[in-house]
Amino acid sequence: MSDITPTTPDGPPAYVIGGGPAGLATAAVLGAYGVPAVVVERSGAVAASWRRHYDRMTLHTTRRRSALPGSPIPRSSGRWPGRDAMVRYLEQYAEEHRLEIVTGVEVSRVDRAPEGAGWILRATGGREPRTDAVVVATGLNHTPFVPAWPGRDDFCGELLHAGHYRRPDRYRGRDVLVVGAGNTGADVALDLAQGGAGRVRLAVRTAPHIVRRSVLGIPAQSCGILARRLPRRAVDRAARGLARVCLPDLAPYGLPQPETGMSALLRAGAVPVVDTGIVRSIGRGRVEPVAAVESFDGDKVRLADGTDIAPDTVIAATGYRRGLEDLVGHLEVLDEHGRPPLLGRRARPAAPGLYFTGYTNPVSGMLREIAAESHRIAKAIARERARAAAAGSG
């Protein structure tokens, strides 16, 4: 589609900003509740962030528990669907649910309507559609973040964010430092080690919690769902017991057991590192954990333990920023970290009709949470419209 004007005659549309899983799921469920929806995507196609993932990227959650509402992920995608399978699934999802999607249009700002009721979207091309319901679903992986390490800009080697890493071919025989021991950093380091990099080091600031992707056929996601219902002490005891039974001692390799319990990690909104081969690679010396990066100096990288190393390439798996400040920061709906504090069906009293989805990554699975949020948001919007209609007819 080339324009943002809806073609459905069934009433005013709700606008969904972002054509990733969260945006598509919410639009589909809105349609099921009788609310027309227009998805506005700044790139040229849906699933833009998935298309940018590295080639070996696979879900750490199962196919069955990662499907969006109304459409299962095909069995041909395997138990742990990969990047290409997910892109195909999201494309087919949009077609199957006949979603109205505007691509190549970016919403730069959401403003309150002058009369005080509803919202105006400021979009490219001077478009300014109005609506009573806006769902922001631009995603967690919006803006790559690289720390401002001293000397970073004068580094003589190659420095890139993990969001720009695709495959290991061009790093064969090279000395590569991956910074960040989260799931992305672990996956990229493993990919490099298996793809022929000459040396792979993984810079770790805080020892991560590591879990097997499945134990005796039971996926870690199942344990994560249970963990959200258990007391903190029970979660910590279970996590320590599983680690002792299922994982080797990595302390000799520079990865001791974390000092804090698993429950503290989950309360902070983080997730453990899911092992898809990184533990074996560390044990075999193919991936070397080292101290965190402190600074750069010419062709050298200074680590927190005072060591200087000279990698050819540094890949920063240092996360993303949500990038919501320009879009909605002026509406006072974000906390001090730029996060929307209220998610799902709950809108702030000062911003009725404005919703956010896809900004949490719970241990039970982001896609599973997105599916649940889509129902809560659609139900809230449909209920509010029904109240408004009843009040108008009265």
pLDDT over 80 at 383, yes or no? yes
- Taking the CA atoms of 284, 78, 272 and 294 in sequence, report the sign of the dihedral they define: positive
Task: Please give the domain boundaries of the chain with CATH numbers for all domains.
Answer: 14-142+322-393 (3.50.50.60), 144-316 (3.50.50.60)
Q: Which of 360, 382, 362 lies closest to 22, judged by CA?
A: 360
Is the CB of residue 269 less than 8 Å from the CB of residue 361?
A: yes
Beta bridge partners of 39: 16, 101
pLDDT of residue 4: 47
Overall average pLDDT of the 174-192 stretch: 97
**This prediction's pTM:** 0.92
Overall average pLDDT of the 121-143 stretch: 94
Q: Which of 100, 142, 111, 104 lies closest to 125, judged by CA?
A: 104
What's the residue count for the chain? 394
Strands 288-291 and 273-275: unpaired
Write out the two tokens for 278.
Answer: 């990184």
Overall average pLDDT of the 51-68 stretch: 95
Amino acid (1-letter code) at residue 389? A
pLDDT in tens, 71-100: 999 999 999 999 999 999 999 999 999 999
| Burial (Cβ within 10 Å: 0-12, 13-18, ≥19) of residue 89 | buried
Q: In the chain, how long is the greatest CA-to-CA distance?
A: 75
Q: Predicted confidence band at 393 (pLDDT cuts at 50, 70, 90)?
A: low
**Calpha distance 233→249 (Å, rounded):** 22
- Taking the CA atoms of 375, 376, 377 and 378 in sequence, report the sign of the dihedral they define: positive
pLDDT over 70 at 344, yes or no? no
Overall average pLDDT of the 135-163 stretch: 95
Write out the two tokens for 221.
Answer: 């996601």
CB atoms within 10 A of CB 92: 13
**Calpha distance 1→130 (Å, rounded):** 19
Q: Which of 389, 199, 160 lies closest to 281, judged by CA?
A: 199
Q: What are phi and psi of 320, to 5 degrees?
A: -135, 165
pLDDT of residue 347: 57
Q: Predicted confidence band at 342 (pLDDT cuts at 50, 70, 90)?
A: low
pLDDT of residue 98: 97
pLDDT over 70 at 246, yes or no? yes
Compare 350 and 222 and report the one with higher pLDDT: 222
pLDDT over 80 at 276, yes or no? yes
pLDDT of residue 3: 47
% of the chain exceeding 70 in pLDDT: 94
Q: Predicted confidence band at 229 (pLDDT cuts at 50, 70, 90)?
A: confident
Average pLDDT, the chain: 92
pLDDT over 80 at 349, yes or no? no
- Taking the CA atoms of 378, 67, 357 and 3 in sequence, report the sign of the dihedral they define: negative
393: Cβ contacts below 8 Å, ≥ 6 apart: none
pLDDT of residue 270: 85
326: Cβ contacts below 8 Å, ≥ 6 apart: 108, 109
Give the neighbor-by-neighbor strand order of the sheet with 308-309.
Answer: 293-297, 300-303, 308-309
pLDDT over 60 at 10, yes or no? no
